[in-house]
Amino acid sequence: MIKTPEEFKRENIKQLFGKILSSQKVKLEPLKVSVDETWKSDFTTVDLEIQLTKGEVSETVKIKESQAKGFVDGMFKACHQAFAEKCPSLCNLKLVNYELTPSFKKSKNTIGSDASVEVSITMEVKDHGVAEFSSTSRSILHSSVAVTLEAFQFYMNCESTFRKIKLILEDANQRNRGDIAQSCIADLSTLTQVNTYES
């Protein structure tokens, strides 16, 4: 499958994560998802357990959204609630599309109900256009949470990388290291192609 220009840009930025953050990249992995809906209620309750790893340290983040207007709303609200305070650039993300594409050709049973499903989300990033992420599994819930966490993880690492480069740039300027400063400015320019960050 041919990569889109957006995917190439994202790969370049992920290489920056490795260069700048090294082992301190944030990794978000779904552990458990629970969704509760009743016919007589307007709201959906979404409980998520997420493993957040940064370097050698891992923690389980438990978040709950009980006033959601459906599962997708609850999942996004819960992740925003858990991560946006420490990573304000996440406030620039707005969900604009959510698509499910089942793959019945790969079904193993005769009724086709075990087909894998690809979940794709498209987010509008304030002043930076749209970004699409996707995940495939046998479960709509699993794919939905996995792709959402992939998107949040990407933008969280973007902001962490931005902050660290700013510190390196300040140090380079104080030491009159123009070579390092120029490299930092180029890296910052790459990061600001996908989002805006607080200085």
CATH class of the 5-191 domain in this structure: alpha beta
DSSP 105-173: GG--STT-TT-EEEEEEEEEETTS-EEEEEEEES-HHHHHHHHHHHHHHHHHHHHHHHHHHHHHHHHHH
Kindly tell me if the per-residue pLDDT of 73 is higher than 70.
Answer: yes
User: Which DSSP helix (H) or strand (E) runs through 48?
Assistant: strand 44-54
Q: What is the tens place of the pLDDT at every residue in 31-48?
A: 999 999 988 889 999 999
Average per-residue pLDDT in the chain? 91
Asked if residues 72 and 91 have their Cβ atoms less than 8 Å apart, the reply is: no
Q: Which residues pair with 16 in a beta bridge?
A: none
- In the DSSP assignment, the letter for residue 41 is -
Q: Name the band, by pLDDT with cuts 50, 70 and 90, for residue 4.
A: low
Task: Output the pLDDT for position 110.
Answer: 66
Q: What is the pTM of this model?
A: 0.92
Q: Name the band, by pLDDT with cuts 50, 70 and 90, for residue 114.
A: confident
Instruction: Decide which of 138 and 54 is more confident.
Output: 54
Q: What is the tens place of the pLDDT at every residue in 120-176?
A: 999 999 999 999 999 998 889 999 999 999 999 999 999 999 999 999 999 999 999
Beta-sheet strands, E only, within 55-125? 57-68, 93-103, 116-125
Q: What is the tens place of the pLDDT at every residue in 86-106?
A: 999 999 999 999 999 988 776
Whole-number percent of the chain with pLDDT over 70? 95
